[in-house]
Homo-oligomer: A and B are copies of this chain.
Amino acid sequence: MNHQTLKKMLEKVKDGQTSVQDALAALKDLYFEDMGFAHVDHHRSIRKGFPEVIYGGGKTVEQIACIMERMASQGDVVLVTRLDPDKGLALSGRFPQSSYDEQARMLVLEETPLPDKGRGKIVVACAGTSDIPVAKEAYLTAKTMGNSVDLICDVGVAGLHRLLAYRQALESATVIVAVAGMEGALPSVVAGLFAKPVIAVPTSIGYGTSFNGLTALLAMLNSCASNVAVVNIDNGFGGGYVASMINRG
């Protein structure tokens, strides 16, 4: 029940077309309907420039295709994450307007790309070349969500000059997504240099005591710079998503 149907019902009550009893019965479930509203509200706010997102991990091609069809039929921009190459190719074959990025393991289906409604620019920076897949997931997410995004690679702390060479780009960002594995020090250094919100994305790059990204995550959570918040390991999508929220304003 939405605003229109509610209004109509009230008018029918007023006009005597609907009895108080029936209206009462109808409103009895309004709570759920309201939750339905909330649902719609939620979706509406999300569709204010955000694509629909499907978590591809652990879903079959059939399941994903089914959800995509329902969404695409409503003209939504659709983002599928954590999609293995074989599934990605199968789906991009079925949805010819879609494009699959193997590095980011993402499928994007956007007939009408979302317009840029951001307050400014998002910069995604990653420490090593091995972190690029995660960084690209963040980059593609933010881009598909309607943002201007820069991607800066291989600027880890073992060679600070590489990072500093991009000072201007980083200084101009509304929010920085800093992606790093191993000791995960990039967000600390970036956040120390630039007074911006820094979304830190730990990656599983490393071996031994990197514990598949746990060390990078812990380091980021303990940053001595205070303008750092963290998302899950290898969660480039989350990093790009939160950054988009922040940039939207």
Would you call B228 and A242 a contact (CB within 8 A)? yes
Known contacts A13-B13, A32-B167, A249-B119: does B38 contact A193 (CB below 8 Å)?
A: yes
Find out whether the CB atom of A242 lies under 8 angstroms from the CB atom of B229: yes
For A165, the chain B residues whose CB sits under 8 A away are: 32, 35-36
On chain A, which size bracket covers the interface? 35 or more
A125 at interface by CB-CB < 8 Å:
no
Q: A119-B249, A218-B219 are in contact. Are A207 and B234 (CB under 8 A)?
A: yes
Query: Scoring A residues 190 to 217 as 1 if CB is less than 8 Å from chain B, else 0, what string do you get?
Result: 0111111101001011111111111111
- In the bound complex, do residue B161 and residue A36 qualify as a contact, i.e. CB atoms below 8 Å apart? yes
A214 and B208 CA atoms in complex are apart in Å by: 8
Residue A30 lies at the interface, judged by CB distance under 8 Å to chain B = yes
Bound together, the chains give a CA A208 to CA B217 distance in angstroms of 10
Q: Is there an interface contact between B224 and A160, defined as CB atoms closer than 8 Å?
A: no
Digit string of A125-165 for contact with B (CB within 8 Å is 1, else 0)? 00111100000000000000000000000001111111011
A228 to chain B, nearest CB (A): 7
Q: How many copies of this kind of chain does the complex include?
A: 8
Of A3, A161, A192, A195, chain B has the most CB atoms within 10 Å of the CB of A161
A109 within 8 A of B: no
The distance from the CB of A151 to the nearest CB of chain B, in whole angstroms, is: 16
Check B159 against A157 for contact (C-beta < 8 Å).
no
**Complex CA distance for A210 and B202, rounded to whole angstroms:** 14
- Decide yes or no: A157 and B192 within 8 Å by CB, A31-B31, A205-B58 being known contacts: yes
Q: Does A34 contact B (CB under 8 A)?
A: yes
Chain B residues whose C-beta falls within 8 Å of the C-beta of A245 in the assembled complex:
195-197, 227
Chain B contacts for A24, CB-based, 8 A: 3, 6-7, 10
Interface locus among A69-77, A88-96, A178-186: A178-186
Residue of B nearest to A81 (CB): B226
Q: Are B128 and A224 in contact (CB under 8 A)?
A: yes
Closest A-B pairs by Cβ, 6 of them:
A208-B233, A31-B34, A35-B161, A229-B229, A185-B185, A158-B192
